[in-house]
Amino acid sequence: MATRKPHTKSRNGCLQCKARHVKCDETKPGCLNCDDYNVPCEYPTSKKNRQDSPREYVSPYPPLKPATINSSSDVLMENTSSSRGSSTTPHVPQIENLADLKLLHHYTTSVARSLAANNSTLIPVWQDYMVQLAFEHHFLLHGILAIAALHLSRIHPLQSADYLFQASKHQDAGLSEFRNIVLNFSPDLREPVFCFSSMLIPYSYGLPFDDGDNPERSLDNIIHCLSLIRGVGPLIGPYWPELKQSELYKLVPQDIVNIDWAAVDETEMAKSDDTPPLQRLYEATKTIKDPEVAEAYTSAIRNLHGAFIRFPQYPSHSALSILKIWPVRLSPEFMELLGNKHPEALVILAYFSVLLGRCRWYWFMEGWSERVVDTVEALLDDEWKDWLQWPKAELKNRHPIAPNNT
Q: How confident is residue 41, by pLDDT bands cut at 50, 70 and 90?
A: confident
Residue 85 clears pLDDT 70, i.e. is over it? no
Burial of 384 (0-12, 13-18, 19+ CB in 10 A): middle
Highest mean pLDDT among 113-127, 302-316, 330-344: 330-344
Query: How many Cα atoms within 13 Å fall on the side-chain side of residue 232?
Result: 25
Other CB atoms within a 10 A radius of the CB of residue 249 amount to: 14
Helix (H, G, I), strand (E, B) or coil at 82: coil
Q: Where are the beta strands (DSSP E) in 87-209?
A: none
The pLDDT > 90 percentage for the chain reads 39
Domain 12-39 has CATH 4.10.240: yes
Query: Average pLDDT, stretch 91-97?
Result: 56
| Of the candidates 298, 322, 300, the residue with the CA atom closest to the CA atom of residue 310 | 322
pLDDT value, residue 215: 93
Q: For residues 385 and 344, what is the distance between their CA atoms, to the nearest angstrom?
A: 11
| Of the candidates 316, 308, 310, the residue with the CA atom closest to the CA atom of residue 401 | 316
* pTM greater than 0.95: no
Query: How many Cα atoms within 13 Å fall on the side-chain side of residue 219?
Result: 23
Q: For residues 144 and 158, what is the distance between their CA atoms, to the nearest angstrom?
A: 22
Centroid of chain to Cα 4? 50
* Per-residue model confidence as pLDDT tens digits over 184-221: 888 889 999 989 988 988 998 999 887 778 999 999 99
The domain spans of the chain are: 12-39, 86-218, 252-397
pLDDT value, residue 177: 92
Angle between helices 291-310 and 332-339 (to 10 degrees): 100
Lowest-confidence region among 27-31, 87-91, 378-382, 398-402:
87-91
pLDDT value, residue 319: 76
DSSP state of 342: -
Lowest-confidence region among 82-86, 199-203, 302-306, 373-377:
82-86
Q: How confident is residue 52, by pLDDT bands cut at 50, 70 and 90?
A: very low
Highest mean pLDDT among 80-89, 123-132, 298-307: 123-132
| Of the candidates 365, 359, 357, 304, the residue with the CA atom closest to the CA atom of residue 329 | 304
Q: For residues 346 and 125, what is the distance between their CA atoms, to the nearest angstrom?
A: 37
Q: For residues 160 and 154, what is the distance between their CA atoms, to the nearest angstrom?
A: 7
CB 31 within 8 A of CB 25: yes
Angle, CA 356 vertex, CA 254 and CA 85 arms, to 5°: 100
Choice between 266 and 169, residue whose per-residue pLDDT is larger: 169
Residue 168 clears pLDDT 90, i.e. is over it? yes
Choice between 154 and 58, residue whose per-residue pLDDT is larger: 154
* Per-residue model confidence as pLDDT tens digits over 240-266: 788 888 999 888 776 666 666 665 556
pLDDT value, residue 56: 37
Question: What radius of gyration do the chain's Cα atoms show?
Answer: 23
The DSSP string of 359-375 is: TTTSGGGTTHHHHHHHH
Query: Average pLDDT, stretch 100-121?
Result: 93
What's the length of the chain? 406
Lowest-confidence region among 116-120, 164-168, 372-376:
116-120
Q: For residues 273 and 343, what is the distance between their CA atoms, to the nearest angstrom?
A: 25
Q: Where are the beta strands (DSSP E) in 156-230?
A: none
Q: How confident is residue 91, by pLDDT bands cut at 50, 70 and 90?
A: very low
